[in-house]
């Protein structure tokens, strides 16, 4: 495989951008390689600047549920561009997209369109604080909610101490109100609520954790979170930036039958354009300006091109709901390639899956972290040498799209099996 072009481009990029990239996980550092520079993509394939073609399971980290450059989406975006790129004034399309979203997720009685998942979660937390008049929030270790200051947190010295910044440049005082619980561990949540219940504005959770690799909620865990937050008057926020429109049109909340107070969406919701959403109970959302006192704004929010891509993508998913069964079947085939193998563990729900290199069941951050990342790096390289592009980090999901052909999925399953047996 030739990678000269990518290497040259990477060297140049490194002189201009930190690590040569605009988002750190793209840098391939944990797999010891130079990132591939992508020229174009179509269906389930990526084409890089050296002319290599890859079967893609990163799918831009989730948005690509229909595959790359879906002709209907691309044509609608092209048409929309001819009508102007941004107006900074209301458009019909914003209402149309909002209506589609509420139709799919009725818990989002009112919503706001923003530009990134980070912005959506940051704004939702602010709305929850404004609504409750409380300061503290609870998140789970290993769940990712974007890179806003208060959410870049690891657990403090004890479960009941405030969080500690997990990034340089974040003052400790910004994370003192962030309490950190363990995923799938009810006791850790109960302890926090017993100590601070009346002060907790919001509990945030990825209903299926997908940023420590995929980790499923255990039976009853989400219902327990619904119950304890209701008991304390705390806002329950489902961060469905990955799971929204991925586990089905109704997201994880429909899949598991739990109605959160607030929801955040991103990735698929923008159909490949920068668009994200936060929304939920009307009385909470009505706290947001200009109706209420919680300030949140955005020059490009509800951008006509992004809303066009979102509407086109959601409309296609609504017209072709069989896609969900199809992508789940393909993901199941991939998961089967590594099930019951010593030293490997696979978690899957719907079309989301992760392969871990550990003998322990992966059910929380600690067990996810027990995965051998050196083996993951060899696995990544083995896949790459066989023309398959998976996430360059253990702690990500593998995404299957409607565009993955059966042939490509089988080839991928064989490739995983080869690695498992080696």
**Catalytic residue numbers, as ranges:** 144, 239, 267
Cα–Cα distance, 64 to 53 (Å, whole number): 17
Q: Which of 309, 304, 392 is nearest to 61 (CA)?
A: 392
Task: From 218, 273, 217, select the one nearest 240 (Cα to Cα).
Answer: 217
Restricting to residues 269-298, name those near ligand PLP by CB under 6 A. 276
Please report whether residue 73 would count as binding ligand PLP according to CB under 6 A: no
Residue of this chain nearest to ligand PLP (CB atom): 117
Which residues share a beta bridge with 356?
A: 345
| Residue partners of 168: CB distance under 8 A and separation at least 6 | none
Closer CB to ligand PLP, 104 or 344, in the complex = 104
Q: Please report whether residue 242 would count as binding ligand PLP according to CB under 6 A.
A: yes
Over the window 210 to 239, marking each residue x when it contacts ligand PLP by CB under 6 A and - when it does not, the resulting string is: -x---------------------------x
Should residue 301 be labelled a site residue for ligand PLP when binding is judged by CB under 6 A? Answer: no
Using CB under 6 A, pick the residue from 52, 116, 132, 188 that binds ligand PLP: 116
Residue by residue, DSSP assigns 136-199 as EEEEETT----S-GGGSEE--SSTTSPPEESSTT--HHHHTTEEEE-TT-HHHHHHHHHHHGGG
CA 29 – CA 32 distance, rounded (Å): 5
257: which DSSP letter? T
The nearer residue to ligand PLP, 239 or 328, going by C-beta atoms, is 239
CA distances for 405 relative to 320, 323, 348, angstroms: 17, 12, 19
Choosing from 118, 123, 132, 308, the residue that interacts with ligand PLP (CB under 6 A) is 118
Residue 117 lies near ligand PLP (rule: CB under 6 A): yes
Q: Quick one: 123 or 371, whose CB is closer to ligand PLP?
A: 123
Binding of ligand PLP at residue 145 (CB under 6 A)? Answer: yes
- Complex with ligand PLP: residue 132 or 211, whichever CB lies closer: 211
Question: What is the smallest separation between the CB atom of 84 and ligand PLP, expressed in angstroms?
Answer: 24
Phi, psi of 62 (to 5 degrees): 130, -40
Alpha carbon distance 153, 138 (integer Å): 11
Chosen residue from 64, 146, 165, 250 binding ligand PLP by CB under 6 A: 146
Stretch that binds ligand PLP, among 115-123, 220-228, 247-255, 388-396 (CB under 6 A): 115-123
**Is 263 a binder of ligand PLP (CB under 6 A)?**
no
| CA dist., res. 357 & res. 6, Å (int) | 29
121 lines the binding site for ligand PLP (CB under 6 A): yes
In sequence order, what are the beta bridge partners of 236? 203
Size of the site for ligand PLP (CB under 6 A): 14
Taking alpha carbons only, the member of 368, 366, 365, 375 closest to residue 343 is: 375
CB nearer ligand PLP, residue 117 or residue 260: 117
Contacts of 87 (CB under 8 A, 6+ apart): 304
List the one residue from 27, 114, 241, 377 that touches ligand PLP (CB under 6 A): 241
Closer residue to ligand PLP (CB): 204 or 331: 204
Interface with ligand PLP, residue 183, by CB under 6 A: no
Interface contacts to ligand PLP, rule CB under 6 A = 116-118, 121, 144-146, 206, 211, 239, 241-242, 266, 276
């Amino acid at each position: 495989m030739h990678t000269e072009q990518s290497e040259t481009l990477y060297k140049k990029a490194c002189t201009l951008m930190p690590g040569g990239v605009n988002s750190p996980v793209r840098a391939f550092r944990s797999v010891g390689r130079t990132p591939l520079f992508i020229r174009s993509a179509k269906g389930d394939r990526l084409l890089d600047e050296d002319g290599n073609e890859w079967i893609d399971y990163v799918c831009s980290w989730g948005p690509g549920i229909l595959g790359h450059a879906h002709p209907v989406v691309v044509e609608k975006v092209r048409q929309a561009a001819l009508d102007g790129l941004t107006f900074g004034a209301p458009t019909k399309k914003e209402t149309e997209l909002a209506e589609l979203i509420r139709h799919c997720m009725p818990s989002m009685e009112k919503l706001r369109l923003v530009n990134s998942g980070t912005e959506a979660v940051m704004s939702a937390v602010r709305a929850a604080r404004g609504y409750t008049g409380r300061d503290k929030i609870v998140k789970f270790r290993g769940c990712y909610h974007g890179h806003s200051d208060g959410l870049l947190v690891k657990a403090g010295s004890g479960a009941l101490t405030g969080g500690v910044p997990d990034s340089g440049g974040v003052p400790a005082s910004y994370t003192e109100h962030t309490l950190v619980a363990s995923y799938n561990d009810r006791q850790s949540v109960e302890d926090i609520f017993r100590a601070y219940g009346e002060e907790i504005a919001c509990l945030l959770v990825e209903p299926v954790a997908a940023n420590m690799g995929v980790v499923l909620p255990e039976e009853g865990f989400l219902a327990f979170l619904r119950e304890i937050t209701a008991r304390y008057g705390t806002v329950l926020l489902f961060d469905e930036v990955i799971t929204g429109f991925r586990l089905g049109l109704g997201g994880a909340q429909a899949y598991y039958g739990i109605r959160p107070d607030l929801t955040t969406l991103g990735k698929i919701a923008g159909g490949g354009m920068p668009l994200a959403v936060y929304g939920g109970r009307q009385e909470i959302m009505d706290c947001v300006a200009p109706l209420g006192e919680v300030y949140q704004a955005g020059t490009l929010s509800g951008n006509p091109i992004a809303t066009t891509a979102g509407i086109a993508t959601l409309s296609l998913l609504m017209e072709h709901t069989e896609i969900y069964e199809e992508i789940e079947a393909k993901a199941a085939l991939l998961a089967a390639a590594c099930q019951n193998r010593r030293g490997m563990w696979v978690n899957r729900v719907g079309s989301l899956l992760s392969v871990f290199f550990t003998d322990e069941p992966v059910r929380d951050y600690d067990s996810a972290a027990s995965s051998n990342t050196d083996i993951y790096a060899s696995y990544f390289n083995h896949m790459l040498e066989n023309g398959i592009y998976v996430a360059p980090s253990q702690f990500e999901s593998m995404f299957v799209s409607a565009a993955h052909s059966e042939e490509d999925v089988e080839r991928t399953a064989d490739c995983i099996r080869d690695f498992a047996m080696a």
